[in-house]
């Protein structure tokens, strides 16, 4: 495998305006990069980026997972901003997961791993 310096995870959407608003609320900030009128990007970690792009043919099929330190606090914070997700549940060995669905049906999950 080649050396990887960064990860870009793409989320294709139908309605770019609605998706941009949803992800702006999800991340609680405007995008870090506006690539062009139908693509924006948020930096999630030092070398991890999530981009939202208008792509009608692929919309609604993304599955993204973001690891957080405190899942319950993150879920509560999103709920305060109007983004409701499924309840946190056990996932694999020692992890918990809560999933959220954007307006196009893309799944964005938060995962916390017990140490």
Domain count, the chain: 1
- Asked whether residue 80 is domain-assigned, the answer is yes
**pLDDT at position 66:** 96
Check: CB of residue 104 under 8 Å from CB of residue 49.
Answer: no
pLDDT by residue, tens only, the chain of 115 residues: 899 999 999 999 999 999 999 999 999 999 999 999 999 999 999 999 999 999 999 999 999 999 999 999 999 999 999 999 988 999 988 999 999 999 999 999 999 998 6
- Mean pLDDT, the chain, as a whole number? 95
Domain that holds residue 75: 7-113
- What phi and psi values does residue 60 have, to the nearest 5 degrees? 85, 5
Here the CATH number for the domain that contains residue 26 is: 3.10.180.10
- Asked whether residue 2 is domain-assigned, the answer is no
- Asked whether residue 69 is domain-assigned, the answer is yes
- Asked whether residue 83 is domain-assigned, the answer is yes
């Amino acid at each position: 495998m080649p050396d990887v310096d960064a990860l870009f995870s793409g989320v294709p959407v139908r309605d770019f305006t609605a998706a941009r608003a949803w992800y702006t609320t999800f991340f609680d900030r405007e995008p870090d990069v506006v690539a062009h009128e139908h693509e924006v990007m948020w930096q999630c970690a030092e070398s991890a980026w999530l981009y939202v792009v208008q792509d009608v043919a692929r919309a609604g099929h993304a599955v993204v997972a973001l690891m957080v330190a405190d899942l319950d606090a993150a879920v509560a914070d999103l709920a305060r901003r109007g983004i409701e997700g499924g309840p946190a549940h056990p996932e694999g060995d020692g992890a918990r997961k809560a999933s959220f669905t954007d307006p196009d049906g893309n799944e964005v999950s938060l995962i916390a791993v017990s140490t």
